[in-house]
Structures are given as structure tokens and as C-alpha cells.
Amino acid sequence: MGKQYFGTDGIRGRVGESPVTADFMLRLGRAAGAVLAAGDRRAVVIGKDTRISGYMFESALEAGLAAAGANIALLGPMPTPAVAYLTRTMYACAGIVISASHNPFHDNGIKFFSADGEKLPDEVEHAIEAELARPFSTVDSRAMGKATRIEDAAGRYIEFCKGTVPFGTQLTGLKLVVDCAHGATYRVGPSVLRELGAKVIVIGDEPDGLNINDGFGSTAPAALQAAVREHSADAGIAFDGDGDRVVMADHTGALVDGDDILFILASARQADNRLVGGVAGTVMTNLGLELALADRQIPFMRTPVGDRHIHRALVENGWKLGGEASGHILCLDRTSTGDGIVSALQVLEVMAETGKSLSDLRAGVTKMPQIMINVPIAAEARARLDSSERIRGEVSSVETELNGRGRVILRPSGTEPLIRVTLEGEDESQVGRLAERLAAVVRDELS
């Protein structure tokens, strides 16, 4: 059964447009409180990124949760994975993050975590939507919830991050550029690295409510790459707006994406006999990573796009490592969800232990040219993607030209009104030409 509000990663959209409105968030808070705070554990943790609209939605959710009888623990601006961690350690019944992740400031959204610090299962999201359909109600005044601000939230999370590398790990001697995307990591990210001994140069750490992800962060890594070269740094680290993604740059400024990070971590864990099972990627994972892992006899599986699908595959197979090229890395031997700071620390640990540069550590994987074109569409047009004979015919034609030496991926974005047209193959010029051709057909059919 489909969901009316929940997408691939919570609820997301443009601020002021349904459902990302203050009145909806009030109703969502009450519905979530009624479903999630129905047992003995009635505390709900709320964190947010640095968007200006976060103030409004925090207040609306707080009021709705209190009306349902839930107590609220307010964390303020904190990375999404920090909310997952604090939900677990504070024994809350759920965690809520107010964020639109890597989207511009004019978007916002809501992500939920279970008491275990994991994404909500489908049946719980369905239950919340069913509760949303009921009239707004308020518990008796004696049963209303209370709100508390957690003043030491940042310190708790910093200590947790440091604990995900072996005791005594020192980053002394490493000069790092850290790009915080003017987002939720702007305080805790640099603090973790400095406390482990690194020399840290920070960019993207001046949030004003409007500049999150604007020219900085994992979705705009050029600023990081330039800063690494300017400061002759050993490496660079770029987080996205809510801190659950990370990409890096080596000492030359060359980009090290999520596929490279997975290769580095899998290879290191295999060498130390710490790799459990194999690695999970998605349909978007570069074929070069799959081939590099095969050379090392490391099993690999693909899932649909989205960290919840990767998480499910890892749990079902008893594996611990997976992720996406975008930098959403899951290290389930360290934490319960994608965590940009923790993922970066795992790579820095390998650098510190081996004395090798990022460039050397990623040298074993050769990427195939991969081009993705985002085609804007009207929201109602995405349903026509699978039914269009013209699009299916063009996909077939493109696959024929690739002659078995590449892949075509055509999928709607789960967070934006876009169709993502992705091609991968050996010949970059051919891949680019075919991607443009297919994107033009999609644009013509669905715009």
C-alpha cells in the first residue's frame, strides 16, 4: 500500500507548500506522539539542521507531541546521526530530525528514528499516516507532555564519535580541510577532529539560516577541493547539510566519493580480518567498485537507491558495510545509521594506521564514466515514466548502442520532482551523448 506523505527518506518538500507547513507539522507531531509514545517510554528527541524554517517546525512539532502526551527533548542544531545516537542512549521512544538534508534552504522535511536509532519500518509510517487522518485531539491536561532542552547534547555526541576509532588513535600530523556545508556539523565536526589531534581548517561553518548547502558541502565539493590545494592539506572532508553524508578529497584535491570510501574501508577490514560478509551498494554504485571488490573476492550486492534499502540488506545478510556514491555510508559495526563524521573517522583511521595517503588507498578502484542528468518534471508526471512507450523504446535503443558494455538507470528522485537519467559505460563521450539523448526524450515526454 502506498504512502501519502512519507517518501524514501521521511517527509520532504518546499516550505509553505503542503505538506511542509506549520499546521501540518502540528498535526504530524500529535499523530507521531500517539503512535510512537504509546508505551512506557514517552520521550521524543528532536534535532534540526540550520535552516531558518527549523525554528517554526520545531515549535509546531513540540506542540503536537505535547498534545499527544509525549515529553520532548530538544537538541537544537545537531547532525541527523547524532539524533539517532541520542535517541538510543537517552532511551527515548523515537527521534525526529527537522532537515531536508542536501536540499536548498527553501526545502525542509522530517526524518524519524525508532527507539533503536534506526529508520521507521513501513508499518509504523502507515500507522502515523492513519493517525493523521483522524481529527486533532489533546490528552487531558494532567497527561500533557513537557519539553526540556538538552544542553550537553553536542558533548555527548563528540565523545561517541571519538569512540568509534580504537582508543589511542591519533590524527596528529594530519592537516585536514573540513567543509560543514553551513549545516548541522558546523560545531561538532571540527571539534571531533581537533580533539583527536588533527590540524583543522574549516570552511562552510557560518550558517545564517539561508546558506545551507549553498556552494559548500558534499553536493558542491569544488570549494573543498580548492581549499585542500590552497592549504596543501593531507585530505579534505565535506559533509552535507544534516551530516549523514561525507565525501573527501585527497592531497591533490581529487574527489574521493562514497564508492571510493567503501573500497578503502572494505579493503582495510579485509586485511585486518574485520570484514563481516561483503559490501552492499545500490543500482547507482559505479561498476568499477563492483569489479575492484570482485578482484579481492569481496561479495557485493545492489539494492534500490536509499539508505533504508541498504540497511535492510545488510541486516538480512548479517553484513556491516554498505553505502552510496553520494557519501551515505553505513558502518553498522560502529553505529546504527549513516554518519558522515563516523565514516570519515574510519578512513582517517586507515590513513593513520598505514601511513598511506588517500590517493594510494583508493588506487585499487578504477571508475567507469558515469553521467547523471536531472530532468525536472511536474510531480504528477512521474507516474507516466514506466508507462511511456517512447521512453521504453529509447532506453532499449541506448542499451543496444552500449552493446552490453554499460548500464542505463532511469528513476524518479525520492526527494525532489526530478527524473534521474544515469548512464555508465567504457567510453565517456558515448555515455555523455547517449545520456543527453535519453534525457531529451524524458524531458519531452514528461515536462
How far apart, in whole angstroms, are the C-alpha atoms of residue 221 and residue 190? 17
- 297 Rama class: left (phi>0) / alpha (psi -120 to 50) / beta: left
Burial of 295 (0-12, 13-18, 19+ CB in 10 A): exposed
C-alpha distances (whole Å) from 445 to each of 376, 410, 421 are 12, 14, 14
Parts of the chain belonging to CATH 3.30.310.50: 370-446
Question: How would residue 203 be classed by pLDDT, with cut points 50, 70 and 90?
Answer: very high
Give the CB-side neighbour count of residue 319, counting CA atoms within 13 A. Answer: 23
Parts of the chain belonging to CATH 3.40.120.10: 11-151, 173-255, 257-354
How far apart, in whole angstroms, are the C-alpha atoms of residue 335 and residue 327? 16
pLDDT in tens, 397-424: 999 999 888 899 998 887 678 899 999 9
pLDDT in tens, 274-316: 999 999 999 999 989 999 999 999 999 999 988 889 999 999 9
Of 35-44, 129-138, 145-154, 358-367, which range is least confident?
A: 35-44
Q: If residue 389 lies in a helix (H) or strand (E), which one and from where to where?
A: helix 389-402
Contact 256, 362 (CB under 8 A): yes
Q: CB-based contacts of 38: which residues, under 8 Å, 6+ apart?
A: none
**Mean pLDDT score, 435-444:** 94
**Mean pLDDT score, 371-377:** 92
**Mean pLDDT score, 99-108:** 95
Please count the other Cβ atoms lying within 10 Å of the Cβ belonging to residue 309. Answer: 18
Q: What is the pLDDT of residue 385?
A: 85
CA 221 from centroid of its chain's CA atoms: 16
Closest CA to 235 of 357, 127, 405: 357
pLDDT in tens, 227-263: 999 999 999 999 999 999 999 999 999 999 999 999 9
The CATH fold of domain 11-151: Alpha-D-Glucose-1,6-Bisphosphate; Chain A, domain 3 (3.40.120)
How far apart, in whole angstroms, are the C-alpha atoms of residue 282 and residue 8? 14
Q: Find residue 242's DSSP bridge partners.
A: none
Q: CB-based contacts of 144: which residues, under 8 Å, 6+ apart?
A: 66, 67, 69, 138
Q: Which CATH class is domain 257-354?
A: alpha beta
How far apart, in whole angstroms, are the C-alpha atoms of residue 379 and residue 86? 35
The average confidence (pLDDT) of the chain is 95
How far apart, in whole angstroms, are the C-alpha atoms of residue 19 and residue 61? 13
Question: How would residue 133 be classed by pLDDT, with cut points 50, 70 and 90?
Answer: very high
Task: Identify each DSSP E strand in 266-328 by its residue range.
Answer: 279-282, 300-303, 321-323
The CATH fold of domain 173-255: Alpha-D-Glucose-1,6-Bisphosphate; Chain A, domain 3 (3.40.120)
Closest CA to 145 of 245, 44, 59: 44
**Mean pLDDT score, 178-186:** 98
- Is 135's pLDDT higher than 80? yes
Q: Which CATH class is domain 370-446?
A: alpha beta
C-alpha cell at 139: 490528552
Amino acid letter, 54: G
Amino acid letter, 206: E
For the question of residue 397 being annotated catalytic, the response is: no
- Is 157's pLDDT higher than 80? yes
Catalytic residue, from 99, 101, 191, 218: name it: 101
Q: What is the pLDDT of residue 214?
A: 97
Question: How would residue 1 be classed by pLDDT, with cut points 50, 70 and 90?
Answer: low
